[in-house]
Structure 1
Amino acid sequence: MLLEFIAIIAAGFGLAGLALLANIVLRRRLPPWIVPASAGAGMLLMAIWLEYSWFDRTTGTFPDTVEVASTNQVRSWYRPWTYAVPLTNRFIAVDHRFDRRHAAAPGQVLTRLVLAGRWEPTRQYGAVFDCVGHRRADLLDQVELDDGGRLKNATWIQLSADEPVLRNACGR
């Protein structure tokens, strides 16, 4: 967050400097408000670019086995440009490096989910997906796996068959 603040300030100074240089080259023919307006435009444009590039910059660091299953896009009145192009501010990814299947429960897959949001810490947790029954159980402290591959003390959440995270987890 601090680095992004510094980048926004630097962009403001940079565009203001270019406007000042253009004004000098043009022998002071530009209006006097051009330098502060350029500084404000530079800061605004950098803030917009940082917001819109967050998703690509974040997912670009993931290994190939991590697949984004679901994104959340928002529109805001105080960001009118988001009505033209919605802003992605959260996503759920499935980390397939942790996929496990039990021979006694072939329709289920244990995997790790990654939850990330703009200005929020990234969270990871394990989940079991029942691909046949279209449901999910989050692996919390009280959940145990018995010898038959069944979960004990799990709370199953019913999902629709076209749930993107379910399809992604069960797709491999």
Structure 2
Amino acid sequence: MFFEMIAVIVAGFAGAGLALILAKASGGRLPRWLIPVAAGAAMIAMAIFNEYDWYPRTVAGLPEGVEVVVTAEESALWRPWTLVAPFTSRFIAVDTQSLRALPGAGEGAAPLRVIDIFAFARWQPTRALRVAVDCAGGRRADIGPEVAITDQGLTGATFRPMGADDPVVAATCAL
């Protein structure tokens, strides 16, 4: 966030400098108000560029084995350009290298898969979470401090029905 603010300020100086050069080159025929308008326009353009560039830049920085499974696009009336082209403001990625199989909870139960997922959101810290996925039942459970992983499976986990089409369940079960 700090570097993006610096980039916006630098863009403002660059826009003002370009307008000043154009005003001098035209022999003073351009109005003086053009300099602050150019600075403001450059700052707005840089802020818009940073919004649209956040997702591809963040995905490019992910380590090998971390795959994006869900993206969420956003648009708002107070940002009219997003009504034409929404930008990705958050996404969920799974760490395929963290996948491991566990026995099912109970006699004859289907095996479970445990995987790490990461929730990324613009202007927010990344959240890491370990989840257990029941591929046969299309269920998922968050693994927190109250959940114990044993040789028999999980104890204390609360599974939520998600369906086989849930992106995290589908990505985990496809591995």
Task: Output the TM-score relative to the length of structure 2.
Answer: 0.92
Q: Which runs of 4+ in 1 moved over 6 A?
A: none
- Paired residue type of 1:127: V
Aligned residue in 1 for 2:137: 133
- Paired residue type of 1:92: I
Alpha-carbon distance in structure 2 between the residues aligned to 1:97 and 1:16: 49
- Paired residue type of 1:42: A
Alpha-carbon distance in structure 2 between the residues aligned to 1:125 and 1:53: 25
Aligned residue in 1 for 2:113: 109
Q: CA deviation at 1:118?
A: 0.6
Asked whether 1:163 is paired with 2:166, we answer: yes
- Paired residue type of 1:143: V
In percent, how many aligned pairs have the same letter? 42
Q: CA deviation at 1:102?
A: 3.0
- Paired residue type of 1:155: T
Aligned residue in 2 for 1:47: 47
Q: CA deviation at 1:5?
A: 1.1
Q: CA deviation at 1:8?
A: 0.4
Aligned residue in 2 for 1:10: 10
Structure 1 gaps of 5+ residues are none
Structure 2 gaps of 5+ residues are none
Q: CA deviation at 1:106?
A: 6.1
**Count of residue pairs brought into register by the alignment:** 171
Closer/same/farther in 2, CA of residues 99 and 106 from structure 1, 3 Å limit: farther
Alpha-carbon distance in structure 1 between the residues aligned to 2:156 and 2:21: 69
RMSD: 1.5
Task: Output the TM-score relative to the length of structure 1.
Answer: 0.93
Aligned residue in 1 for 2:154: 151
Aligned residue in 2 for 1:69: 69
Alpha-carbon distance in structure 1 between the residues aligned to 2:133 and 2:103: 15
